[in-house]
Structure 1
């Protein structure tokens, strides 16, 4: 018996069309910028601000305020002129930060800087008489603080975009913050200190909105190497323990030399003349660390660091 082939053939199902891929630029842009009602949103900056807040807390604690906490408030968009007016009287730090087509700006209230200087030199954060001009020591401290905060910003951006802010201006006059006009919009992040004498003091970080839109399609930084939760916990515990290690800091003010005859002839009431140099060495755990000058701060004898020594490995 022969069988007839079935002339009916089921129609082939149409091949599924691959889903359209999002343009690469859109994928990158979503990391930093998205259209929001009435303007733009920058979701990536929330993570940057959270990390900066933690490192800012650690920095202030290291300067001598161990109980300080830092609260981050929601970011807001304000005009440059309004931001500087609300910050005054303040110290402003400006950073050159390519690929941003504009600077990163930080501002800290003048009273906060004066209190941090007092704490750093052994005081309790008391505010002296109100004055407009900073002393040389206070200006040097403000510059050093600005450099340290720049390093923290670099770390906060590190695993997101390759932005390395470099401090190029420290001033109390907002008119000297060139490249930003009065009507330019800034995305401002506010960090409020809580605890002790510094309670309520603020530091703000401001990004020109136009500059942020300009890097929406920038290449993300390479992803950080994944680490297990155990490794991360171990590293955090080790880092926390190391920060509490106490090291002896010493400075030699004078090394007089006298003859053996005079030494054997010394009696109670005799005077050994000393010649104290302008700069004296500072050692930590027996190793040369810095050179400083002798002076006074808030009624206490103090040494101001003039130069940090570098070892052969430049650490």
Structure 2
């Protein structure tokens, strides 16, 4: 009996991946340049941070503002802080970086943002060296918000979670940074009235960046959503422009029916102003605040924001 056999074609196994050099991942964050060190991964971080700053400033009351990246430079901390003064500095503890991340903005920018936040037009009444208590609280809140935006910009790189630990107008109080320390400085320029030409600066100690050379960058993730990105962008923009009714009840006096029926023109109903008043948005409890005045306008300073069932 003859047995016929079929020729079987061998299937070549895919070639084993070539081992990457030990510094392949590191090169994504650190590259030796002719005149020092370059950090290519920070380019995309800066691009994302610029978009986040724009959205944050718009949410604070400047809907037409734009933010441009103005490039990067390496300089000493002493030279940078001197050129930035007078400024407000924010320092963040940001592991795995072995050093702080610093943000800075000109003091007049803070005064303008406070004015807009409380209903003004962002005009400066005059230069002042000292911030009021309300302005200091606003600067701290702004610093926390910018820290969240910076964390978002880093999220697909090293998972930095900057935590604000110092807000000051005196660069000498920024401990852990010496005058001769090299800094990588990224500048972000604001475009549009009333902030035209103002800058926000982000500075990283070069030594801290070099310290994470061996850190593994997080892989890029791709969204599984099949939604049209143009449609999603248009929907997001439309939602951001929705105007919500904000209401606060300053007083709720109660009088008897007899007195109510006896009221005449010129009569006075006494009011007792509470220390804290509720603030509602679209009929839902949103926050509690204190009654006050800002730049000649009646204002409410938010003291506490209510949390929903999901803590958002």
TM-score range, shorter chain: over 0.9
5+ residue gaps in structure 2?
Answer: 1-14
Determine the structure 1 residue equivalent to 2:196. 199
Q: Shift of the alpha carbon at 1:161?
A: 1.3
Question: Which of 82, 86, 94 is residue 97 of structure 1 equivalent to?
Answer: 94
State the alpha-carbon separation in 2 of the partners of residues 19 and 37 from structure 1. Answer: 31
1:275 aligns with 2:268: no
**Structure 1 residue 216 displacement after superposition:** 1.7
* Correspondence list, 1:234-253, <5 A: 234-253=231-250
Aligned: 1:126 with 2:118? no
Deviation at 1:221, TM superposition (A): 1.9
Q: Deviations over 1:182-240 (max 9, x none)?
A: 10000000001011111010000000001101112212224323346744333322221
Runs of at least 5 residues in structure 1 that lack an aligned partner in the other structure: 1-16
* SS of residue matched to 1:56: helix
Q: Which structure would you say has the larger Rg?
A: 1
Out of 26, 32, 42, the residue aligned to residue 35 of structure 1 is: 32
Query: Which residue is 1:12 aligned to?
Result: none
* Distance (whole Å) between structure 2 residues aligned to residue 272 and residue 228 of structure 1: 59
Confirm or deny that 1:148 pairs with 2:145: yes
Is 2:286 aligned against 1:289? yes
Query: Distance in 2 between the 1:159 and 1:31 partners?
Result: 12
Distance 2:244 2:75 in 1: 46
**TM-superposed deviation, 1:169:** 0.5
Distance 1:246 1:20 in 2: 56
1:18 deviates by 8.3
User: Scaled by the length of structure 2, what TM-score is found?
Assistant: 0.92
Please say if 1:184 is aligned against 2:181.
yes
Name the CA shift for 1:19/1:251 in 2 (closer, same or farther; >3 Å): closer
Match of 1:211 among 203, 208, 218: 208
Once the two structures are TM-superposed, the CA of residue 175 in structure 1 deviates from its matched residue by 0.6
Counterparts in 2 of 1:46-125, with a 5 A limit? 46-125=43-122
1:266 maps onto 2:263 in alignment: yes
Once residues 145 and 40 of structure 1 are traced to their aligned partners in structure 2, the CA distance between those partners, rounded to angstroms, is: 31
Question: 1:247 deviation in Å?
Answer: 0.7
Distance in 2 (alpha carbons) for counterparts of 1:57 and 1:211: 27
Give distance in 2, aligned partners of 1:166 and 1:234. 35
Which residue does the alignment assign to 1:14? none
Q: Structure 1 residue 269: deviation in Å?
A: 1.2
Q: Give 3-state SS (helix, strand or coil) of 2:23's partner.
A: helix
Deviations 1:70-113 (A, max 9, x none): 11111100000001000000000000000000000000000111
CA distance change for structure 1 residues 164 and 226 in 2, over 3 Å: closer, same or farther? same
Contact 2:286 2:306 in 1 (8 A): yes
Deviations 1:10-56 (A, max 9, x none): xxxxxxx9896332x31211110011001011001010000000110
For residues 26 and 166 of structure 2, what CA distance do their matches in structure 1 show?
30
Greater Cα shift, 225-234 or 67-76: 225-234
- TM-score norm. by structure 1 comes to 0.91
> Over aligned residues, Cα RMSD in angstroms?
1.6
Name the structure 2 match of 1:303: 300
CA pair 271-41 structure 1, distance change in 2 beyond 3 A: same
CA distance in 2, matches of 1:213, 1:19: 28
Work out the CA distance in 1 between the residues paired with 2:248 and 2:232: 33
Q: Distance in 2 between matches of 1:42 and 1:144?
A: 30
Please give the alpha-carbon distance, in whole angstroms, between the structure 2 residues aligned to 1:19 and 1:114.
57
